Amino acid sequence: MDKPYFRELFHPQLVNPVFIEGLPGFGNVGKIAARLLVKSTQAKLFTELYSPFLPDYVIVNKEGICRPPRYEFYVSSTEKTVFIILTGDAQPSVDDITAHYEQCGEILDFIAKHECRFIVTLGGLPLPQPAGEVYVAATSQELAADFEKKGALIYGKGRIMGATGLLLGLAKKRGLEGITLLGATKGVRSDHEAGLSVFNFLTKAFGIKVE
């Protein structure tokens, strides 16, 4: 295996889906928020992504069954919006920059096939004194302002590392629109609270009813 490989479990017909990404990263904020969204919207796993850019180990569950690390694409239909939600076990190695670009390119190709035009990436923003804030950066000033009105703070003058940043940047190059939502976190341990803040912001902003 020398290229990312998509294993499709079923092929949903989607109209105008919004793509949500939440992978491991600072405080695991993005992954936690994405998992909460998967659960609360009863999203269904429809595609797995295996990749030579993911770590070279297998993950063994408590029954002793093993599988390679992977990305998972879920689909869920809420009242207002259809979502494709991406989460996963790991990101490419920080040392392999080209891998990040290739992996992100493959993901954008994938969501393009599903006619997706809007993306939301989720992550953590390391701060010394996090207090539940959610920050936003966007592909355009209008979008940033729009989500500022919904209660996010503008994340200005900085960098966003890994898939959370790169997916948005490369999506913009392809003419897509989107935002990144960053939950303030100390960033070292898994930060469930920050993940919940991002999730709550997301559900409110997209009008998702959570049971």
Asked if 100 interacts with its own copies (CB under 8 A), we say yes
Report the interhelical angle of 97-113 vs 162-173 (nearest 10°): 60
Residue 64, SS3 per DSSP: coil
d(CA 194, CA 35): 13
Q: Does 13 bind its own copies (CB under 8 A)?
A: no
Site map for its own copies, 144-183, x if CB under 8 A?
x---x-----xxxxxxxxx--xx-xxx-xx------x---
CB 180 within 8 A of CB 138: yes
Q: Toward its own copies, which CB reaches closer, 82 or 144? A: 144
Q: Which residues pair with 37 in a beta bridge?
A: none
Alpha carbon distance 78, 73 (integer Å): 16
Q: Is 99 in the site for its own copies (CB under 8 A)?
A: yes
Options 40, 45, 46, 55; binder of its own copies; rule CB under 8 A: 55
Q: How far is the CB of 180 from its own copies (least distance, A)?
A: 7
Q: Show the tokens assigned to 97.
A: 């920059």
Q: Is 9 in the site for its own copies (CB under 8 A)?
A: no
The span from the CA of 121 to the CA of 154, in Å, is 15
**Total residues contacting its own copies (rule CB under 8 A)?**
57
Q: Which residues bind its own copies (CB under 8 A)?
A: 1-2, 7, 50, 52-68, 93, 95-102, 104-105, 136-141, 144, 148, 154-162, 165-166, 168-170, 172-173, 180
